[in-house]
Amino acid sequence: MKTVHEKERDIPVLAETDVLVAGSGPAGLAAAIAAKRSGADTLLMERYGCFGGVISQVGVEGFAWYRHENTVEAGGLAKEFEQTFVRIAGSNPESQSQSQALDAEMFKYAADLMISEAGVRPLLHSTVSAAIVEDGVIKGVIAESKSGRFAVLAKRVIDCTGDADVAALAGAPFSKAPKDKLMSVTTLFHCKGVDTARFKDYIKNDLKPTYKDWGGCWSITTSGKEDDLFSPYFERPFVEAIQEGIVPKEERVSLGGTWSSITDEGEVTQLNVVFIGGVDCTDVEDLTRAEIAGRRNAMRSVEILRKKVPGFERAKLRNFGMTLGARESRLIRGQYILTGHDVFNQARFEDSVAIFPEFIDGREWLILPLTGRYYQIPYRALVPQQVDNLLAAGRCISGEPLSHTSFRNMACCVATGQAAGTAAACSLKAGVSTANADVRQVQEALAAQGVRFT
Ligand SMILES: Cc1cc2nc3c(=O)[nH]c(=O)nc-3n(C[C@H](O)[C@H](O)[C@H](O)COP(=O)(O)OP(=O)(O)OC[C@H]3O[C@@H](n4cnc5c(N)ncnc54)[C@H](O)[C@@H]3O)c2cc1C
């Protein structure tokens, strides 16, 4: 590739802080709030104009769509967030679980309130573009913004960018599946103007969707116990349209999937029906291609729904997510790599800092936590190799592609975020680095916050 030489220059320091959290999705919000509540001066940096990550930027509303009567969870901030979201941001019953679907737009406002109530210093429109590392220890980051380049110096940095941007920039090792094996990306959209009575009647009397139906356009293995449960899933109208030639094969797009809720205002939300394969969401040209293909196929999907699904005849697009939804990219190589075997076999660890139910969604698996089974997540999975005072939380923690299909879920990202924020603050108080944090102290602090990690 042709290159140009960038001249060396001095960069202004915009802020100095105890803990810098980069990225404000479920993991970043939790990490920042936990670090601040644990006594550390905390700054939360986000590349877009709103906090909330995939919730507010992509439009994902199903914070806990896996939850059934016997599901065992971590509690802590995940529980508190859900109650706060519902109170401030509003919600509708999530159709397949004992949970609420968040209002993704209102979530932008709810996240502002949560951050300001916690006393976290907010910084929007700032993209981390370099890491400041001295002798294997991270000292802060350099970010790009409308004010130009600036630095934030920090005693601890938590990478909650989803893509492990900070870890990668800092030179910490990471893994990334080959492009063809990464989970698909999705342009989510929401529809308005739906005759919801007719749509509900179609669901009840004609579609009658269950998790068994997921085997049609996706290849899925369940444990059997999921098969006959209701799932808000449709593919028949899309399969028919694809057979009619509506999507050219070379676009590598599959259509068909789920919706989230049906509102009294005639909306059907979180239409998660456009899946684009072969996209590396750390490659700007892939992202550009996928954004455009995603919108094209979302509009094709609206057309299909209008033609083929009762109740959608006069429906219109309400909005696209403000950006493409990416499910998988870099995973840090941590001191421990959480395996698929761990997730499927209720792994237990002495240094556990979070638990998550046995919920697996992706890579041809769908397992719902109907029986109370759960696994633990060790602190070591948040600690990258080679760079100290840096932690990761959320979907980029250290794991295999198969375990990622479980820990990528939002409530689990909150749990690892809360653990990372708490650990960063504990390590500061104790005057040790994050790699040398006393996990017992972190566990005690998490227990005091009402987190279940055993
Ligand atoms: C289409 C789709 C549907 C999904 N459905 C569900 C579902 O129903 N339920 C569920 O639990 N999970 C679902 N998931 C998965 C889940 O939403 C994500 O795995 C989860 O949000 C990851 O949380 P996170 O905090 O790690 O990262 P994200 O939510 O991705 O947040 C990362 C944040 O970091 C910011 N950022 C990125 N790079 C930088 C940078 N260099 N500098 C500064 N900021 C940066 C981003 O703008 C973003 O705000 C879905 C995902 C997708 C894409």
Residue nearest to ligand 1 atom 39, measured at CA: 161
Ligand 1 pocket residue status of 47, Cβ below 6 Å: yes
60 lines ligand 1 (CB under 6 A): yes
Alpha carbon of 340 to those of 211, 343, 361, 388, 434: distances in Å? Answer: 22, 5, 12, 26, 26
Length of the chain: 454
Residue 244 pLDDT grade (very low, low, confident, very high; cuts 50, 70, 90): confident
Choice from 161, 182, 253, 398 to test ligand 1 binding pocket (greatest atom count within 8 A of CB): 161
Query: How high is the pLDDT of residue 345?
Result: 97
pLDDT at 242 over 90: no
Q: Nearest 10 degrees: CA dihedral of 54, 251, 316, 230?
A: -60
How far is the centre of ligand 1, averaged over its atoms, from the C-alpha of 163 (Å)? 9
Ligand 1 within 6 A of CB of 22: yes
CA distance readout (Å), 395 to 346, 379, 411: 19, 15, 11
Ligand 1 centroid distance, CA of 312 (Å): 29
Residues 6+ apart with CB under 8 A from 175: 330, 331, 333
Q: What is the mean pLDDT of residues 126-154?
A: 98
Which is the closest atom of ligand 1 to the Cα of 393?
Answer: 26
The fraction of the chain above a pLDDT of 70, given in percent, is 99
Q: Which of 363, 359, 290 is nearest to 328 (CA)?
A: 363
Q: How far is the C-alpha of 18 from the C-alpha of 421, rounded, in Å?
A: 11
Write down the pLDDT at residue 246: 79
Q: How far is the CA of 409 from the centre of ligand 1 (A)?
A: 9
* Ligand 1 midpoint to CA 354 (Å): 19
- Ligand 1 lined by 46 (C-beta under 6 Å): yes
- Model confidence at 241: pLDDT above 90: no
CA 418/CA 421 separation, integer angstroms: 5
pLDDT tens string 250-289: 676 789 999 998 999 999 999 999 999 999 999 999 999 9
Q: Give the span between the Cα atoms of 436 and 431, in whole angstroms.
A: 10
Task: Please tell me the predicted confidence (pLDDT) of residue 376.
Answer: 98
Residue 321 in contact with ligand 1 by CB distance below 6 A: no
DSSP state of 49: S
- Specify the higher pLDDT residue, 411 or 239: 411
Q: Is the CB of 425 under 6 A from ligand 1?
A: no
What is each CA distance from 291 to 25, 125, 358, 400, in whole angstroms? 20, 20, 32, 27
pLDDT in tens, 287-320: 999 999 999 999 999 999 999 999 999 999 999 9
pLDDT band at 351 (very low <50, low <70, confident <90, very high): very high
User: Tell me, what's the pLDDT at 90?
Assistant: 81
Q: Are the C-beta atoms of 64 and 357 separated by less than 8 Å?
A: no
Give the mean pLDDT of the chain: 95
Written as six digits, the tokens of 369 are: 């936590």
How many other CB atoms are there within 10 angstroms of residue 97's CB atom? 19
- At 11, give phi and psi (nearest 5°): -115, 130
pLDDT-based confidence at 346, cuts 50/70/90? very high
- Among the listed residues 253, 297, 19, the one whose alpha carbon sits nearest the alpha carbon of residue 158: 19
Q: Give the residue with greater pLDDT, 417 vs 244.
A: 417
Q: Would you say the CB of residue 294 lies under 6 angstroms from ligand 1?
A: no
What single string gives the DSSP state of each residue in 319-382? EE-SS-B-----EE-BSS-B-HHHHHTT---TTEEEEEES-EEETTEEE---S--EEEEEGGGG
Can you tell me the distance from the alpha carbon of 43 to that of 200, in angstroms, rounded to the nearest whole number?
45
Top mutation candidate among 48, 54, 150, 276 for ligand 1, by most atoms within 8 Å of CB: 54
Place of tokens 């040398």: 436
pLDDT tens digit string along 211-238? 998 877 667 899 999 999 999 999 989 9
- 328 CB within 6 A, ligand 1: no
* Contact between 414 and 82 (Cβ < 8 Å): no
Per residue in 77-103, pLDDT (tens digit) is 999 999 998 888 888 888 899 998 989
The closest of 332, 327, 338, 374 to 170, measured between CA atoms, is 332
- Say how many Å lie between the CA of residue 377 and the centre of ligand 1: 19
pLDDT of residue 184: 95
To test the ligand 1 pocket, which listed residue (46, 48, 60, 322) has its Cβ within 8 A of the most ligand atoms? 60
Q: Is the CB of 395 under 6 A from ligand 1?
A: yes
Q: Which amino acid is at 421?
A: G
Ligand 1 in contact with 410 (CB < 6 A)?
yes
Kindly tell me the burial class for residue 90, based on how many C-beta atoms sit within 10 Å of its own C-beta (0-12, 13-18, 19 or more). Answer: middle
Neighbours of 15 (CB within 10 A): 16
Assessment of whether the complete model's pTM goes beyond 0.85: yes
Q: Is 107 in the pocket of ligand 1 (CB under 6 A)?
A: no
